[in-house]
Amino acid sequence: MYIWLSLILNLSFLIMLFHIYEKVVDSMSEVCPVLTIGPTVPSFHLDKAIPDDTDNVINLFELDSSPITWLKQKPPQSVIYISFGSMVCFSSHQMEEIAFALMATGFNFLWVIPDFNTKNLSKEIGKKIDVCGRGLIVNWAPQLEVLSNHAVGCFFTHCGWNSTLEALCLGVPMIALPQWTDQPTDAKFVQDVWKVGIRLKEDENGIVTREEIQNSIRVVMEKELGREMRINAKRWKELAIEAVTQGGTSDHNINIFIKHLKKS
């Protein structure tokens, strides 16, 4: 949950947060000076002050544009985007539950399954997804660009911190399936503090059933509670933009830090 910049200067910390952890920052400030300089989402997706600032990684290989091309053909807020990061590997049983839940909802879905996890989705289920005509499975997708697309209605995520922050800053409600480390805490904030999503519950066998997934998707995509989550998510997006614009908390704190460096 805490993403630290690897820089400590006179016992001062720079942290990649903004309003979302205000109480945490206030508490830490009692111990040492703390400057929040987040969110570190590229400018193009927030305030658009730097049009060429579109990504926070350097890609060494040719990128696959098919997910974005596919999304452009879908109506607004009609797509469930599913990605569990680059380390989560679900069992075949859990993959099956996710797949059947997605097909049963009737919504379009873009599902990122890394190469190492494709073996846990049977060819038979893959064919069913092809036949249903509403799903696209890819090994990788440009997440910031996907979350920024008007077609995306919710993000089914493991709640890794980067993914959580990106969804929050881009105003996308979440369905949380956390696994380890910071993810359960992030998921709790998503559901109980920020109120921008739902955390899925496992059954007695440690499996999140297709019924649990399907019902949660319908809540976020169709129900009144989902509309409230969407409103809350948009508010957090506004706060993120406010933080990085000129005079915002991030802009202000970076200037303070630079002045501090010049004096050192």
Residue 15 has pLDDT above 80, yes or no: no
| Reported confidence tier of residue 4, pLDDT bands at 50, 70, 90 | very low
CA nearest to 3, candidates 161, 216, 175, 135: 161
pLDDT at residue 83 greater than cutoff 60? yes
The pLDDT of residue 1 is above 60: no
Residue 57 CA: distances (Å) to CA of 41, 61, 247: 11, 12, 26
For residue 216, the model assigns a pLDDT of: 98
Write the pLDDT tens digit of every residue in 29-70: 777 777 777 777 765 556 666 666 556 655 544 577 899 999
pLDDT per residue over 156-170, tens digit each?
999 999 999 999 999
pLDDT for the residue 195:
97
pLDDT of residue 104: 97
Summary mean pLDDT of the chain: 86
pLDDT of residue 3: 39
Q: Can you give the pLDDT at residue 11?
A: 42
Pick the CATH number of 66-239 from 3.40.50.150, 3.10.20.30, 3.90.1150.10, 3.40.50.2000: 3.40.50.2000
CA distance 166 to 189: 14
pLDDT at 10 over 70: no
Asked if pLDDT for residue 219 goes beyond 90, the answer is: yes
Q: Do residues 160 and 94 make contact, with C-beta atoms less than 8 angstroms apart?
A: no
41, 166 contact by CB (below 8 A):
yes
Of 216 and 64, which is predicted with more confidence?
A: 216
Contact at 8 Å (CB) between 232 and 224? no
Taking the C-alpha atoms of residue 91 and residue 94, their distance in angstroms, rounded to an integer, is 5
Two tokens, residue 120: 């846990």
- pLDDT tens-place string over residues 108-133: 999 999 998 999 999 999 999 998 99
Q: What is the pLDDT of residue 58?
A: 56
> What pLDDT was estimated at residue 259?
84
What's the rounded mean pLDDT across residues 191-206? Answer: 97
Q: What is each CA distance from 163 to 23, 175, 187, in whole angstroms?
A: 22, 12, 11
Model pLDDT, residue 55? 64
pTM, 2 dp = 0.86
pLDDT band of 6, cuts 50, 70, 90 = very low
Residue intervals of the chain classified under CATH 3.40.50.2000 are 66-239
pLDDT at position 61 is: 44
261 — pLDDT class (breaks 50, 70, 90):
confident
Higher pLDDT, 8 or 252: 252
How much of the chain, in percent, has pLDDT values that exceed 90?
63
pLDDT value at 72 more than 70 = yes
Answer with the residue of higher pLDDT: 256 or 56: 256
